[in-house]
Chain A
Amino acid sequence: MISNYNSIIAGTGAAVPDQVITNQDLEKIVETNDQWIVSRTGIRERRKLEEGLSSVDLSERASREALQRAGVDPSEVDMIIVATITPDYPTPSASCLLQARLQSLKAGAMDLSAGCTGFIYALTVAHQFIRSGVYSNVLVVGAEVLSRVTDWEDRSTCVLFGDGAGAALLQRSSEDKGIINFSLKSDGRGAELLIIPGGGSAHPASQASLDNRLHYIRMNGNEIFKFAVGIVEETIYELIEPEGLKPADLDLFILHQANLRIIDHVRKHLKLPSEKFPVNIDRFGNTSSATIPIALHEEVIAGRLKEGDLVAMVGFGAGLTWGGILMRW
């Protein structure tokens, strides 16, 4: 449903660290091998942020690019929303640190925690501020430094994750385009399936929490896989059916890059060509809330997103949470 105030993505940006960790590098750390990782996940390499830098450094780079491409000065930003599970600190928020870096001094700032669905949630929240006429420019960022919460002794998870950030400047527009529809869902009964148990009020940092490796990501891979392949398609239909659209009517499906097998499963089930499903998990691994904005930015830069294209973005992850956004570019 398009209201008087439409939300368009006026600019995108992305930032990944320089250091590349290949599957061969991981073979030296844990008992695994390139062939196993590629066949199970599609990941060939991922990026790791250097010591001394943190989430805000990636956020700032991605944000500056998005603002520049949108032609918006940081001082014109009304609100900053950062989706992350790896902020610099438990408090203050990652978005406040970013606000200071950008000198977006009139902007409100908040973080949003929705696991790998974070960017979809954040973009949807931003959309509400635009659509209601309250704000004109909302900066939405997905930024993660998962290497800091990855258990480098757990071969089932350490091969999966990477660091990176993506940003989008959501802007008010009177043109007949932008966000058409969204869907946000959750099922907290699956909380234990993908969790960092330590560091919060349940298990604050202690010698025991360190000894028990509670500060790292734990994941039940098979259950998450099953959950993901089920809900992605469901979400796509939820986005397009009210608009009378069919999957084949869409030009691009930007799915959360958690596992190539999930993307392939959905693509085959929908019987659509692979060109409609951008993939960067081979190069960046799973960067949680950053995968979708990074992929979106790459499509924009490569010129594969054209004016008028219909694009669906779908995320899923810890919570459990999942959701999607349908937009006309």
Chain B
Amino acid sequence: MSVEAKVKGIVADQLEVAIDKLSAETTFEDIDADSLDVVELVMALEEEFDLEISDQEIENVNSIGDVIKYIESKV
């Protein structure tokens, strides 16, 4: 499975949104993700991709596309 598909799957699962509603352009705001949702999302991503993601690194991450780019730069 591609990073994109995995990320979309995790976001859909964590935030309970339909996966076909998600694109690279979808922002956290679009799917009503608050700061605690982001924390949970980061934890799920850390588990899936076996990463440690610091708060500073995700400060500028606002969309699904940003997440995919970030993960691809790490794995």
A binding-site residues for B, Cβ under 8 Å: 39-40, 222, 225-226, 229-230, 259, 261, 265
Contacts and interface: CB of A to CB of B under 8 A. Distances in A.
A226 B36 CA distance: 9
Given A229-B43, A261-B36, 16 more contacts: A39-B34, A40-B34, A40-B36, A222-B35, A222-B36, A222-B39, A222-B55, A225-B36, A225-B39, A226-B39, A226-B42, A229-B39, A229-B40, A259-B36, A261-B40, A265-B40
9 contacts: A222-B35, A222-B36, A222-B55, A225-B39, A226-B39, A226-B43, A229-B43, A261-B36, A261-B40
B34 A230 contact: no
Nearest to B34: A40
Contacts of B43: 226, 229-230
Contacts of A265: 40
A265 B39 CA distance: 11
Contacts of B36: 40, 222, 225, 259, 261
B41 to A, nearest CB: 11
Interface in B31-60: 34-36, 39-40, 42-43, 55
Contacts of A259: 36
Contacts of A261: 36, 40
A259 B34 CA distance: 14
A222 B41 CA distance: 13
A222 B39 CA distance: 7
A229 B35 CA distance: 14
Nearest to B42: A226
Highest count of chain A CB atoms <10 Å: which of B35, B36, B39: B36
Contacts of A230: 43
B19 to A, nearest CB: 17
Nearest to A262: B36
B37 to A, nearest CB: 9
A314 B42 CA distance: 23
A170 to B, nearest CB: 35
A259 B55 CA distance: 21
A39 B32 CA distance: 11
Contacts of B42: 226
Contacts of B34: 39-40
A264 to B, nearest CB: 10
A75 B52 CA distance: 55
Contacts of B39: 222, 225-226, 229
A39 B35 CA distance: 11
Nearest to B35: A222
B1 to A, nearest CB: 21
A265 B47 CA distance: 14
A222 B35 CA distance: 8
A227 to B, nearest CB: 10
A225 B42 CA distance: 12
Nearest to A36: B34
Contacts of B35: 222
A267 to B, nearest CB: 13
Nearest to B37: A261
Nearest to B38: A222
In the A-B complex, the 4 residue pairs with the smallest Cβ-Cβ separation, listed nearest first, are: A226-B39, A261-B36, A225-B39, A222-B39
Contacts of A40: 34, 36
Nearest to B40: A265
Contacts of A39: 34
A229 B55 CA distance: 16
Interface in B1-47: 34-36, 39-40, 42-43
A253 to B, nearest CB: 19
A261 B42 CA distance: 15
A233 to B, nearest CB: 11
